[in-house]
Homo-oligomer: A and B are copies of this chain.
């Protein structure tokens, strides 16, 4: 609906393409492929499995930049692989569903991505979720303001990211362990601790109404209060100010879109991947540690391959995590549970199988999905098999029926049967299926 074009990239990338793009932890989780043929014995790897869809996209953009349109919007739904310890909703192979827009620095890109992702989740039946929003430049501004040298920003963010998990004292210790000066650690922690109090309203509401979204006016008040806190803290800090400006534009331009009810500022959001340069986003739902997806702006990643920077921004949804939540909450529509076939053809005598297949062909021509039972088992066993698969109808072809050009059709749920003329049977079964479907 947003004009994204489909793209697929190979599962296997050159190993150098991936190494150094995901941070230290990412490097270790990459599946590496052994050289082939005579080089196999060397034990060296030259290829690796795709770790996300963003780095391969950047590689493709860098390689084909001259041939691509100035603005390139693509979607991609493919598996990625991470040698992680499997857990609930975390697999070693999982699908990412990505949308990215390449070639523009306009915050309109972020707004449209947030809208697109919001609409996907609403369409899937999600009601309460937040698109948490932060900005890498604002984070840099915070850290600069607290006197943390630029070369330690990465270390500091890793520690601050754990605030909700290990508390202020734990983060303080980790900051000191990571060589952040005590004074800076205290200053940045005092900022985040104060910030935490702003969310009280939200926490109360979450506990009270786990399924209802925060009313829009309260969400906006909350964002305003958070914004004011951050502005006060980074006052006269150029990088932080630019980050705040970016966030304000995104919030403002979203005001009349469907994203606006879900956008929530979250200054503790850091996102692990090292390639982000601007706005960063992450989707959370109550009851699930971790996120359903995330994204952000990465204006320098293409340049790491071609030497020529190209602005870019993207959003990624994790398919399996979404399916886990939908499964646990019973969000799948019942139509997904239908059997693989509408009708099964059964014969009494294997000599009639060729006739059964021809008859199946005429029913398929009517649009029915038809199973032919291929073995000379007892009819009772055949019907039981159809029933076990949830196939609603069985068409019985005995020698009498074949001679008369008829077929006996059993409705397994209603436990009724009627004799139909073979040429008309397909259409009549189709009608009966429609009735079943309407009944739900």
Which of A's residues lie within 8 Å of B, judged by CB? Answer: 1-5, 10-12, 28, 31-34, 36-37, 40-45, 47, 49, 69-71, 73, 79, 81, 83, 92-93, 101, 104-106, 108-109, 111-112, 115, 252-258, 340-341, 344, 350, 353-354, 356-358, 361, 364, 368-375, 385, 388-389, 391
> What 10 A-B pairs have minimum CB-CB distances, sorted nearest first?
A43-B43, A3-B341, A3-B371, A106-B374, A108-B374, A253-B354, A5-B340, A256-B358, A32-B34, A104-B374
Instruction: Name the distance in Å between A173's Cβ and chain B's nearest Cβ.
Output: 27
Q: A33-B33, A256-B358 are in contact. Are A340 and B73 (CB under 8 A)?
A: yes
Instruction: Name the distance in Å between A222's Cβ and chain B's nearest Cβ.
Output: 21
Set of chain B residues within 8 Å of A253, measured between Cβ atoms: 353-354, 357
Instruction: Name the distance in Å between A14's Cβ and chain B's nearest Cβ.
Output: 13
Q: Which residue of B109, B361, B368 is within 8 Å of A257 (Cβ)?
A: B361
Set of chain B residues within 8 Å of A361, measured between Cβ atoms: 115, 256-258
Set of chain B residues within 8 Å of A368, measured between Cβ atoms: 1
A1 to B388, CA, bound (A): 19
User: What would 13 more interface pairs be, CB under 8 Å, given A33-B34, A106-B350?
Assistant: A2-B370, A11-B49, A31-B36, A32-B40, A33-B33, A106-B353, A106-B374, A106-B375, A108-B374, A111-B354, A112-B372, A253-B353, A255-B354
A429 to B47, CA, bound (A): 48
Asked if residues B369 and A2 are in contact (CB atoms below 8 Å), the reply is yes
Q: A252-B354, A353-B108, A361-B258 are in contact. Are A31 and B47 (CB under 8 A)?
A: yes
Set of chain B residues within 8 Å of A389, measured between Cβ atoms: 69
Instruction: Name the distance in Å between A32's Cβ and chain B's nearest Cβ.
Output: 4
Set of chain B residues within 8 Å of A385, measured between Cβ atoms: 69-71
Asked if residues A3 and B340 are in contact (CB atoms below 8 Å), the reply is yes
Instruction: Name the distance in Å between A79's Cβ and chain B's nearest Cβ.
Output: 6
Set of chain B residues within 8 Å of A47, measured between Cβ atoms: 31
Asked if residues A37 and B42 are in contact (CB atoms below 8 Å), the reply is no
Asked if residues B31 and A32 are in contact (CB atoms below 8 Å), the reply is no
Set of chain B residues within 8 Å of A41, measured between Cβ atoms: 43
Set of chain B residues within 8 Å of A92, measured between Cβ atoms: 10, 12
Set of chain B residues within 8 Å of A4, measured between Cβ atoms: 340
Instruction: Name the distance in Å between A226's Cβ and chain B's nearest Cβ.
Output: 21
Set of chain B residues within 8 Å of A101, measured between Cβ atoms: 374
Asked if residues B93 and A12 are in contact (CB atoms below 8 Å), the reply is yes
Q: Which residue of B49, B69, B109 is within 8 Å of A374 (Cβ)?
A: B109
